[in-house]
Amino acid sequence: MAEAMSEEQVSLPQGQGDLPEGEQETKSDVKLFDFIEGGNLIEELKNATDTAQEILQRYDTAKQSMEPWLEKYEKALKLAKMEPDSKEKNFPFKNASNVMMPFILEAMLDFHSRTVPELVWSQNLVQMEIHGESSAEKEDKAGRVADFMDWQLAKGMDRGTWRKRQDKMLLGLPCTGTAYKHTTYDFDEQEASSRLLLADAVIFDQAYDTFDEAPDKFLEEEYTRNEVVSMIRGAAEWDLDEDKMPLERDHPEPWEVIRALTWIDLDDDGLDEPYEVIIWREDDSIISVRAAFDREEIQDNDDGEVIRVRMCEVFTQYQFLPDPEGGPMGMGWGILLCDLFRSLNTTVRQSIDAGTLANLAGNSGLIDQQLTGSQARGNRQQAGPVEVRMGSMTPVSTGGKPLRDSVYQFPYAGPNGTLFQLTEWMLTQVRDMTNSALNMDTNSQEAAMMYLARLQQGLKVPNSIVMRVYNGAAEEFSKIALINYKHFSDERYNKVLDGAQQYSMAADFDPTNCDMIPAVDPSQGSDIERQQRAQIILEEAKTQQAQVLNVREAYLDWLKAMKAPDIERLAPEPSGEPDPMEQVMMANLQREADLAERDMQLREAKQDLDRTSAMLKAMKEGGEMALKLDLTEAQITKAYADAMFKLWEMGMAGDNPVKTVQDIEGALIDQQVAAPPPTPQPAPMANPPAPQGGSQGAPI
């Protein structure tokens, strides 16, 4: 995104609409401003031949610096295409196994499957990231910009081929580690263009730490005659005479050009400025010079002198992994693990060859054949190596020995088990490194939150790679948004939005508004992470006691995470009436609360009943004990009364019978209290024996 410039350096969009008066004014009047919209500036170039040679020298230096990396790139590409080093392999025998196993392709497909749903086939490819305080106006503007760019990427740009190119890029990126997008404005098509360039297409000096730091970048391009004529007649305005160009039958090879983003001093002010220069390789002549900067990239002083000019970035470098040595190129599995993949292919081939030898050992060997004359072996003239053919008995001369002693079959034990185990071990190491779709098994005893945390921890490494690709996509989208601002079309913009109100495309895509930038959303992680997170939130929303979470929104997020089709039909927008789904959920929650309260009341009632029952039991036992005591006291009183009555009848009660009874009763009571508890007596016999030795007196 371009930096915010001063009022004198504000960029002007080059579209079809009209800007407010005064916005096109600028304090500076340097010559470079005329170059911005000057088209092909070939006539401004003073010494075209020397300039072309200087640019070609920079090109040769850059290409030479890329040779070590291009060698690794070619090997990685062969692995991806499963192309062996040679078509025929004759060791250890003719037509030996030359198979290429798809281990690298497995890693490529794994990464491709993770990124394609979000960066290619998603209906919402662009999401506007709002910075600062959010407002309804910002959200509406972000929605319009995102909707238009989604249409632009899917159908508008490059005749609707952007998705195909992005799909192709995401498949090859894990192998080679680097890919480019060349984002420019096509004046003939009146639309932004974002071409896919493979890792070897962009040539620059590898001495720089990053791709953006390299000042010169080159493209080797090939054109047919029709394409060259279109460039001559179209907005490119190539400086060529088409009448002098031979027809295709006279020039079967395509025409080659070098497109260079480089620095030259076109205005002779002693300061180099960035330009796009095209060199015709037929005679190494310059056929096009165009400014590679805008007004906001020019910094000048009050005297009209240029201080600095920045190049407009048209390349977006996608990286899979950064170079461990700090180089400017990205690294993929095909480059980092090339030797390991080649060793795997070698061990597999050796195992296959061993099986082939084991199958042919039974009918392969040497057999004696009696030859005469000059064909006889064994003499000096016929001495030398014996050619052995697999699957056949090779005749040799043994000097007339018996046939049973003249046959030698090759012994062979078959494929080596240790070699097979080594292959399995290396394959395990490769898959542990490259397989980003880790299999995280669930445990029925494990909480959902713990499983989600374990899953996120296991996917940190692959997610970091995906995040790097997302950042590259955000850079590309920002370049497209800047082109939309410079070359706006309000008519097309409002036609795509198809709204009742008319909007200004230049105002919506204004880069000086830094509150909003195009971005993708990599924060949600993989599909399984999003699904697990949405499931946890939904369960929490359904079982919450306090109504904090919105149940309907939780269901919508869950449906989106599950990629359910036609979500609007499954969960339509609520009307003025209460939402039936929410009513059911509230009724269920209220029913559960009522049941819990009723259960609490039943438990309290049972506790009260238990206490009352215990109290009644204690009162019953106390009453029974009191009755027993009263009965015992009554029986004692009756016995005393009967005894005193007997004493009175016998004249032994004295003058005051009542006092005598009270004294006796008190003495008996004191004796009863002081006496030990009575010893249990055996039960009386049913027929007691008669008393012995004398008569028995009458009891008192």
**449/75 Cα distance (integer angstroms):** 44
What is the per-residue pLDDT for 199? 94
Q: How far apart, in Å, are the Cα atoms of 621 and each of 609, 625, 629, 631?
A: 18, 6, 12, 15
Domain assignment of residue 41, yes or no: yes
**Position 522 pLDDT exceeds 50:** yes
* Same domain as 237, residue 204: no
Among the listed residues 431, 422, 430, the one whose alpha carbon sits nearest the alpha carbon of residue 337: 430
The total number of structural domains in the chain stands at 4
What is the per-residue pLDDT for 257? 96
* Same domain as 532, residue 480: no
Domain assignment of residue 683, yes or no: no
* Same domain as 398, residue 498: yes
Question: In terms of pLDDT, which residue wins out, 458 or 76?
Answer: 76
Q: φ and ψ at 252, to 5 degrees?
A: -65, -30
Give strand ranges (E) for 36-82. none
**Position 44 pLDDT exceeds 80:** yes
Question: In terms of pLDDT, which residue wins out, 556 or 569?
Answer: 556
How large is the C-alpha radius of gyration of the chain? 50
Query: Residue 406 corresponds to which amino acid?
Result: S
Highest mean pLDDT: which range of 181-190, 443-452, 638-647: 181-190
* Same domain as 504, residue 423: yes
* Same domain as 466, residue 350: yes
Mean pLDDT across the stretch 500-519?
A: 84
DSSP 139-201: HHHHHHHHHHHHHIIIIIGGGGTHHHHHHHHHHHHHHHSEEEEEEEEETTTTEEEEEEE-TTT
Residue ranges making up the domain that contains 597: 584-654
Pick the range with the lowest mean pLDDT from 180-194, 323-337, 637-651.
637-651
Give me the percent of the chain exceeding a pLDDT of 70. Answer: 74
pLDDT digits (tens, 9 = 90+) for 424-467: 888 888 887 776 444 444 455 445 444 444 444 444 556 778 88
**Position 85 pLDDT exceeds 70:** yes
**214/51 Cα distance (integer angstroms):** 19
**162/157 Cα distance (integer angstroms):** 6
Residue pair 171/333 in contact (Cβ under 8 Å)? The answer is: no
What is the per-residue pLDDT for 171? 94
What is the per-residue pLDDT for 277? 97
Mean pLDDT across the stretch 255-268?
A: 94
Q: How confident is the model at residue 520 (pLDDT cuts 50, 70, 90)?
A: low
SS3 content of the chain, % helix, strand, coil (to 5): 50, 10, 40
Pick the range with the lowest mean pLDDT from 28-37, 348-357, 392-401.
392-401
Pick the range with the lowest mean pLDDT from 173-182, 218-227, 241-250.
241-250
Domain assignment of residue 565, yes or no: yes
Question: In terms of pLDDT, which residue wins out, 529 or 17?
Answer: 529
What is the per-residue pLDDT for 511? 84
* Same domain as 477, residue 409: yes
What is the residue-averaged pLDDT of the chain? 79
Domain assignment of residue 9, yes or no: no
Among the listed residues 532, 490, 491, the one whose alpha carbon sits nearest the alpha carbon of residue 509: 490
What is the per-residue pLDDT for 129? 83
Q: Which residues pair with 367 in a beta bridge?
A: 395, 407
Q: How confident is the model at residue 20 (pLDDT cuts 50, 70, 90)?
A: very low
* Same domain as 512, residue 642: no
* Same domain as 152, residue 108: yes
What is the per-residue pLDDT for 11? 34
Which SS3 state, helix, strand or coil, does residue 203 take? strand
Question: In terms of pLDDT, which residue wins out, 126 or 574?
Answer: 126
* Same domain as 158, residue 195: yes
Give the position of tokens 């049913």: 686
What is the per-residue pLDDT for 393? 62
What is the per-residue pLDDT for 258? 97
Pick the range with the lowest mean pLDDT from 127-136, 618-627, 681-690.
681-690
What is the per-residue pLDDT for 381? 43
* Same domain as 544, residue 434: no
What is the per-residue pLDDT for 196? 96
**Position 25 pLDDT exceeds 60:** no
Domain assignment of residue 667, yes or no: no
Q: What is the dihedral of CA 226, 232, 234, 236, to 10 degrees?
A: 120
Domain assignment of residue 129, yes or no: yes
Which sign, positive or negative, has the C-alpha torsion 236, 242, 248, 253?
A: negative
Q: How confident is the model at residue 699 (pLDDT cuts 50, 70, 90)?
A: very low
Question: In terms of pLDDT, which residue wins out, 85 or 658?
Answer: 85
Which of 243, 278, 312 terminates a domain? The answer is: 312
Among the listed residues 295, 313, 75, the one whose alpha carbon sits nearest the alpha carbon of residue 183: 313
What is the per-residue pLDDT for 457? 44
Highest mean pLDDT: which range of 42-56, 530-544, 548-562, 611-625: 42-56
Highest mean pLDDT: which range of 30-44, 137-151, 434-448: 137-151
* Same domain as 342, residue 446: yes
* Same domain as 337, residue 302: no
Pick the range with the lowest mean pLDDT from 120-134, 234-248, 583-597.
583-597
Domain assignment of residue 551, yes or no: yes
Mean pLDDT across the stretch 513-526?
A: 64
Domain assignment of residue 238, yes or no: yes
pTM reported for the whole predicted model: 0.70
What is the per-residue pLDDT for 259? 97
